[in-house]
Structure 1
Amino acid sequence: MFKNYTVIFLAFFTISLSAQDYFLKKYQPFNSAIPSPEAFLGYPIGSQHTRHDQIVAYLKELARISDMASIYEYGKTHEGRKLVILTISSSQNLQNLEQIKQQHLAFVDTNSGASNYDQVPIFINLGYNVHGNEPSSSEAAMLSAYTLLASNHPEIRKYRSDAVIFIDPTINPDGRDRHTQWANSYKGNPLVSDPQDAEHSEYWPQGRTNHYWFDLNRDWLLGINPESRGKLNWYHEWYPNVVTDFHEMGTNSTYFFEPMKPIGSKDPIMPKENYTDLNDIFGAYFSKALDSIGSLYFTKEAFDGTYPGYGSSYPDLQGGLALLFEQASSRGHVQKTPYGKITFPFTIRNQYTSSMTTVKAAVENKALLRKYQQDFFKSALSNASKKRIRAYTFEDKFDKNRLKAFIDKLLLHRIKVYKTNDENKYVVPTNQPQYRMVQTVFETYKEYRDSVFYDASAWSVANFYNVKYRAVSSNVPTTGEVTSTEDLVKVSPVSRSSYAYIIDYDDYNASAVLYYLQHKGVNVAAAYKPFSIQTSTISKKFNYGTLVVPVSKQKLSPEKVYQALTEAQKRYKVPMYSVASGFSLSGIDLGSRYVQFVQKPKAAMVIGNGVRSYEAGEVWHLLDTRVHMPITKIPMRNFSRSDLDRYNTLVLVSGNYNQLDSNQQKRIKDWIAKGNTLITIGSASRWAINTKIVNEKLTKAKKKDSLKAVSRKPYVDAPENLGKESVGGAIFKVDLDVTHPLGFGYHDTSIPVYKNNTIWLAPSKNEYATVAKYSADPHIDGFITDRNLNEFMKPSASLIVSPVGRGRAVLFADNPNFRGSWYGTNRLFLNALFFGNEIRVPR
């Protein structure tokens, strides 16, 4: 199959036919006044990879030329690239788009009785290229836009009349351009199909992810990055009926379209009609279209929509039909496979064919899709009325900025939130159209009908934020709806003091305040024991880790110190207090030996081949966007000649560090012993133990009886049986030592953590070194086998500090920064950065 189409494509360069005929012949004739992608770009689609700015320029040109198209910018990426959507419909529809939009939204409104299902144009969102190095779909986006605008074929004219089509050509422009630069830079002439050629193997971190190395296809639920937040705001303005999610997979595969593998949840919150009836209807269209061009494909046996944060699952929870496509990738321009050569144009044509088929299927089933979306939101209310739970209340008495971040996430998904008489407590009623999103945020699960998941098996967002929430079976009195987080956190301006200032370290933003002050040259100390003291306004009790700024211990003038404090408070909204005396009402005084100077962190992190880019990006993103603290990223290839003495903290996230030889291992250990801090996460913690950098152990499996006969199992079941032993992503409870510097800022000794690995740290033999241990009954949410739970997890530690000479290693078994969303455990990591060098592990 691949070989035949390759021959056809290469023939384009030797005959007079335009290369675009390979894609577009079916939809002739075309309006000559509208330029094809080839005419605009100056090269045939598929002959090279197209930069994002060229794609945007082409779509802008289409919108300029045609009265059947308009372009909208819904945001910008971290690197400043534009995120755009091209809207295509008939000129009459576009002129009346606002009216059509209101008619469409009537089907989302549970109070509306709209029944004109077949009379309103169907809303279709063709979304492309969320993974930057899966580039074929963005090229197909340009072909689709051209076809839908320029074709005079009767079928296409009907699509323009009966649909409003929103084309999002590149969901991840930063990643796409990273890959585009690579593929075009290493493109040979003639083309090189050898899989070992550099063109087919990008250097770390590759183009899959965005600027901070986040997988944007996991970010629909979490809404951390501007690409996702912009798209979510657009989405909830339009609520499209059908959404596409185009991807690429291994070169030696074929093509995938839905239906997927069955959802792993025992009781999915998505209506069954979505993943059975609708997918089967659309699947029949896709099979017919791909059969007609001779493309092989498969369905049902892979991928799943269990996690609600994919581009192919989130729209399903908004009454739409999300459709996943996976194309075998050429990983460049042409590559050898067992079937022959697979070319870039071939991959584009499959994506283009599925794009146009999606429009066809949606238009021909628009009444069904509209009725389904209407029933979806109405059934949300009826489902809620059948459940005992009437609302969820949540609160945090100590950390309003973390609470604000959680409420922001609820509002992003259009979940209704209300205030109560208690200023620290909020309520989310279940009787609301977004009830299924309420379930997604608060509900937890222990039973599943599957044991192998494509991604996470747990996503209860409230646990990500360590929010204390409670399900209630009665209505809760409210005092008003929360519609914005703009003024949710209010702090009293700190008054000037000639003695000292105290900063509440319970607040999530306190780490950012600490670094801001250090950067400004202010000396800051931390209280290693709690105390109560009279401030200028109230007498108040302060927790472990409270920051103290003594005015007399500064190199800066009192005026400069006060200015830095007021600037920090204005920026981060953290409670601050002035005091006139260091004499406490109870607990330690401000001059106590338990009030210690906090050293400014000088942090570095190893990146590059072997390092898990997701986790490295999460650290970088956290420090860049929330703490505004720089971290030096040292490529693995440069590590042997780097000067570690410039830093007092080194971060190693999960990865393979076996490429660091015994000399480099000794170098790291000697550097720690000088008084510095090594922070390891996941498999890096295992590496530190295995290489004897630290004197700790891993939890070992119980020895099996070698004489016991091994039961024979079917070969075909091996992937499922072995796959379930991994911990793909679940939430567990740990017991935290809140008196330890790594526990500063916490009040509750029980907190949730996220585990997506099988790293099991044995508790330290030093009784003061195990900072967090899995509780006796640790399971909160997600799938884990009984063996992993009882044999490995329950005896193990989640966080250890191990002494190395005058220094220490902080070993995380679990990722405290997972996907930029774990506000509840970020503090553990930040404490390791800021207080690590002050930790003295008693021996």
Structure 2
Amino acid sequence: MKKPLLSFLLGIFLCLNSQAQENYFFPGETFDPAIPSPSEFLGYKIGEWHTRYDLIVKYFETLDELSDRAELKVIGYTHELRPKIILTIASEENMGKLEEIRLKQLQLADPRQSMPDVSSMPAIIHQGYGVHGNEPSSAEAAMLTAYWLLASQSELAQELKANAIVHIDPTVNPDGRDRHSHWANTNKGFPPVADPLDREHNEVWPGGRTNHYWFDLNRDWLPLAHPETQAKIAWYHTWYPNVTTDFHEMGTNSTYFFEPTKPYGSENPVVPRKNYDDINVRFAKYFSKYLDEIGSLYWSKEVFDNSYPGYGSTYPDIHGGLGLVFEQASSRGHVQDSQRGEIKFEFTIRNHVRSSLATMEAALDNKNFMHEYLREFFETAVNEGSKDAAKNYVFGDEFDESRSRLFVQLLLDHKIKVYENESDLNLGDYSFKKGKSWIVPTSQPQYRMVRTMFEEVTEFADSVFYDASTWTMAHTYGMPFGKSAGVKLGAEVTDNSPADFEFPTDKAYAYLIDWSDYYAPKMLYNLQEAGVHVEIVNRPFTSQTQKGPVDFAAGTLMIPTGFQKLSEDNLKDVLKNLSKSTHQQVYATQTGLNLKGIDLGSNLVGAVTEPKVIMVVGDGVSSYEAGEIWYLLDSQVGMPITKVNSDQMGRVNLFDYNTLILPAGNYNSFPESVLNHLKDWTQRGGTIIAMKSASLYLNQKGIIKETPVEQGESTDPEELPFADRSAFEGAKEVGGSIYMARMDLTHPITYGYRREQLPVYRNNSIFMQPSQNKYLTPIRYTENPLLGGYISDSNLELIKKSASIIISPVGRGRVINFYDSPNFRGTWFGTNKLFLNAIFFGNQMD
């Protein structure tokens, strides 16, 4: 009889616990006892522990099972195979006609269709939580919000179910959340420790903010590099919510932030003023009311950025809805001291719950207004696009089909209409070939996203940026493009898959693979892994192939059939399979005697060494940049890379590798023994790829000897008001902008490129003079390099005198110095090849 008694007492305890919780978060409200509260389900009060993501999913599954007013949908999976879920809540009547409601909402967003009666349409509300894994209060708030909406007996909850469709995404970044939750829970004290120095409040590198590959997913709504955001955007375009929330945390000593953000300086240039001047102001009154009721301090109209279109709170603004960012002072654990006393986890959760409820009430009260704005947004987009002097953007790289199709896919994923180009065109400095280029008209509903993809902006209302100051996606893909006032549209692109190449059937003296295509490095790595001997031709040539005479550029891969361990048939099978999987054209030639240029047995042809790569990660290293490199090699090349913590470098024998990658970071913690080993290994033939501040470190330690650009005399005034310090000093930073660089196309680091000019991305203030060796600065900036983004006049002059890439010989080895960001956010497809060339051809660069 003891067990039933124990269970009975435990049930009473949990019930009382739950009631106390409900009174704290929802004072005075009554709830449907058939719906368990989060604390009843989990067995602990919300805020006592950081809830694991699998338990959040289980709770939402339980709500789905218990209520006909809730429906759970899996929209995708993370890198670590955690499900991405959306819980939809509405009245039973509306749940029964969910598809009809969804199609009407899409009708609103399509000006070609008739305007539906918005008075009969429910508000579409999307509550998004937890894009940063170590900002954990929002996911707990998501569970409480779902519980309140389903179980509360309040009039507002009933009205919302009857007149709104609420979609709840409890955690945009499940992988990062679980990384942080595990840290906070395993380091929790009993009682919890509020001292900010305690281990619980200080995660080890890389922390839980980012996803599996250490990417900030709050920047990925535009690039769509990762499955979490790809699934989210695909879902978003099936609903076009009227309101989308984006819940965050900030420093412990702050209070609470809600929109509007800083006027003009923090706003996106393509978003209508009505969004900022009217809609944001309407909603802000609700947020202040809900926080006033519980005495929480808050602020608005400052700092937080809404300009970059890849934010979860900005992307909806460019799609006819209202995106809302909320920032809560973080306990970074269960309790932490602040300037106002102890900040408890449950307190941070409550503020986000209040804003969640306020958002839903505001959206309900402004339901018809927001529906009409959605239609107005897309109607005005079409009208503005039809008046744009650039009636069409034409783009395409005739030498790199894969990269061109990757860009086409990005446009299609953002629902931008793309058409085939059926004629040869010359626009500005570029020529566009029929069948190898595409057209994007400006007169279309997604005109504002078209601007986002192609527009170059260099004038701004402010000179201080929270994040990147430019995002022209055509440049990130290195995509040639031009404007045309009149061009005939071909067929609309609905299938972006390329046709397979025909594989040569005759016996070959050698096989040839052009290095121009984006996936040529993937082909090369897989060939080497399969045991195929590959050589590189270091000069242009013309060869007779199964397709007749073909001109090949320097960097072409050559596979001689007479120097292979594989049999002829096995070699053919490997080449044929890889040609299909990487979409690379394989050419066959019957002779080593070329029609033009060097022959295939020339001394200017040599074996490609298989890369053995190690990268330093851990304390002091930029996790963002290390993650970009890791992700590039994993996702685009399929090449495993050894990642070693900076404090373990003393155990590494570098002679087991031929390439060392040093992402940007602080390497002063390297002991003298590690530094000496690194010097010796490099002098004996090793290749170091040094990114930005890592290059400075090698320079300071005398491993390389490059020269900084001399700074001019300061023009700063002798005195300024103290209040101006942030704006004045911030304007000196290079916060993320795009420049045109000029390339030496004969250098191995530029193999695969056919044009001398290439857009590059810079987000640092390291300015190095070109090498004293006139052959070893393969990439410099053009005379007038700025393509997009903000930079001060003085910094622009320094960039003009600077190098983008320098090769520094060190004995028989070398350091390849990158001063830009060739892999930024997984979206700089245009400069990835530079970095991959450094890996594959590094030993040929000096």
Q: TM-score, normalised by structure 2?
A: 0.96
What is the match of residue 804 of structure 2?
A: 798
Partner secondary structure for residue 238 of structure 2: helix
Give the 3 Å change call, closer, same or farther, for CA 727–704 of structure 1 in structure 2: closer
Measure, in 2, the Cα distance between the counterparts of 1:606 and 1:557. 39
What is the match of residue 465 of structure 1?
A: 477
- Contact 1:756 1:814 survives alignment (8 Å): yes
Measure, in 1, the Cα distance between the counterparts of 2:475 and 2:692. 20
What is the match of residue 549 of structure 2?
A: 539
Q: Determine whether 1:222 maps to 2:223.
A: yes
- Contact 2:267 2:305 survives alignment (8 Å): no
What is the match of residue 132 of structure 1?
A: 133
Measure, in 2, the Cα distance between the counterparts of 1:378 and 1:210. 37
What is the match of residue 449 of structure 2?
A: 437
Partner secondary structure for residue 672 of structure 1: helix
Partner secondary structure for residue 532 of structure 2: coil
- Contact 1:263 1:306 survives alignment (8 Å): no
What is the match of residue 755 of structure 1?
A: 762
What is the match of residue 832 of structure 1?
A: 838
Which amino acid in structure 1 is aligned with residue 315 of structure 2?
Y
Deviation at 1:413, TM superposition (A): 0.3
Q: Determine whether 1:608 maps to 2:614.
A: no
Which amino acid in structure 2 is aligned with residue 163 of structure 1?
A
Partner secondary structure for residue 616 of structure 2: strand
- Contact 1:616 1:653 survives alignment (8 Å): yes
What is the match of residue 489 of structure 2?
A: 478
Which of 801, 817, 822 lines up with 2:828 in the alignment? 822
Which amino acid in structure 1 is aligned with residue 494 of structure 2?
T
Give the 3 Å change call, closer, same or farther, for CA 494–44 of structure 1 in structure 2: farther
- Contact 1:258 1:324 survives alignment (8 Å): yes
Deviations 1:670-723 (A, max 9, x none): 111110100011211121212211111221212459xxx953211100000000
Deviation at 1:21, TM superposition (A): 2.3
Partner secondary structure for residue 56 of structure 2: helix
Which amino acid in structure 2 is aligned with residue 439 of structure 1?
R
Deviation at 1:364, TM superposition (A): 0.6
- Contact 1:137 1:348 survives alignment (8 Å): yes
% identical aligned pairs: 48
- Contact 1:256 1:327 survives alignment (8 Å): yes
Which of 706, 729, 741 lines up with 2:736 in the alignment? 729
What is the match of residue 745 of structure 1?
A: 752
Partner secondary structure for residue 85 of structure 1: strand
What is the match of residue 61 of structure 1?
A: 62
Give the 3 Å change call, closer, same or farther, for CA 16–37 of structure 1 in structure 2: closer
Partner secondary structure for residue 801 of structure 2: coil
Q: Which runs of 5+ in 1 are unaligned?
A: 1-11
What is the match of residue 621 of structure 1?
A: 631
Which amino acid in structure 2 is aligned with residue 613 of structure 1?
S
Measure, in 1, the Cα distance between the counterparts of 2:712 and 2:318. 43
Task: Give structure 1 regions of 4+ aligned residues with deviation exceeding 4 angstroms.
Answer: 12-17
Which amino acid in structure 2 is aligned with residue 174 of structure 1?
D
1:362-761 → structure 2 map (5 Å cutoff): 362-421=363-422, 422-474=434-486, 476-486=487-497, 488-704=498-714, 710-761=717-768
- Contact 1:430 1:438 survives alignment (8 Å): yes
What is the match of residue 90 of structure 1?
A: 91
Deviation at 1:119, TM superposition (A): 1.6
- Contact 1:397 1:424 survives alignment (8 Å): yes
Measure, in 2, the Cα distance between the counterparts of 1:530 and 1:598. 17
Deviation at 1:295, TM superposition (A): 0.4
1:75-114 → structure 2 map (5 Å cutoff): 75-114=76-115
- Contact 1:265 1:447 survives alignment (8 Å): no
Measure, in 1, the Cα distance between the counterparts of 2:85 and 2:14. 33
Measure, in 2, the Cα distance between the counterparts of 1:80 and 1:427. 37
How well do the aligned residues superpose, as a CA RMSD in angstroms? 1.5
Measure, in 2, the Cα distance between the counterparts of 1:265 and 1:159. 32
Q: Which runs of 5+ in 2 are unaligned?
A: 1-12, 423-433
Deviations 1:765-824 (A, max 9, x none): 00111010111110101100000001x100000001110000000000001000000000
Measure, in 2, the Cα distance between the counterparts of 1:571 and 1:290. 56
Number of residue pairs the alignment of both structures matches: 823
Deviations 1:348-401 (A, max 9, x none): 000011011100100011011111111000000111122211000012111000
- Contact 2:543 2:551 survives alignment (8 Å): yes
Q: Report the more deviating stretch, 277-286 or 100-109.
A: 100-109
Partner secondary structure for residue 394 of structure 2: strand
Partner secondary structure for residue 489 of structure 2: coil
Partner secondary structure for residue 125 of structure 1: strand
Deviations 1:575-610 (A, max 9, x none): 111111111000011111111100000000000011
Measure, in 1, the Cα distance between the counterparts of 2:569 and 2:766. 50
Give the 3 Å change call, closer, same or farther, for CA 459–744 of structure 1 in structure 2: same
Deviation at 1:490, TM superposition (A): 3.7
What is the match of residue 771 of structure 1?
A: 778
What is the match of residue 193 of structure 1?
A: 194
Which amino acid in structure 1 is aligned with residue 166 of structure 2?
I
Measure, in 2, the Cα distance between the counterparts of 1:277 and 1:563. 64
What is the match of residue 816 of structure 2?
A: 810
- Contact 1:456 1:729 survives alignment (8 Å): yes
Measure, in 2, the Cα distance between the counterparts of 1:697 and 1:74. 52
Partner secondary structure for residue 770 of structure 1: coil
Measure, in 1, the Cα distance between the counterparts of 2:125 and 2:268. 28
Measure, in 1, the Cα distance between the counterparts of 2:335 and 2:544. 73
Which amino acid in structure 1 is aligned with residue 823 of structure 2?
N
Measure, in 2, the Cα distance between the counterparts of 1:135 and 1:484. 40
- Contact 1:263 1:305 survives alignment (8 Å): no
Measure, in 1, the Cα distance between the counterparts of 2:504 and 2:614. 34
Q: TM-score, normalised by structure 1?
A: 0.96
Deviation at 1:266, TM superposition (A): 9.2
Give the 3 Å change call, closer, same or farther, for CA 160–23 of structure 1 in structure 2: farther
Measure, in 2, the Cα distance between the counterparts of 1:323 and 1:34. 29
Measure, in 2, the Cα distance between the counterparts of 1:704 and 1:90. 65
- Contact 1:219 1:225 survives alignment (8 Å): yes
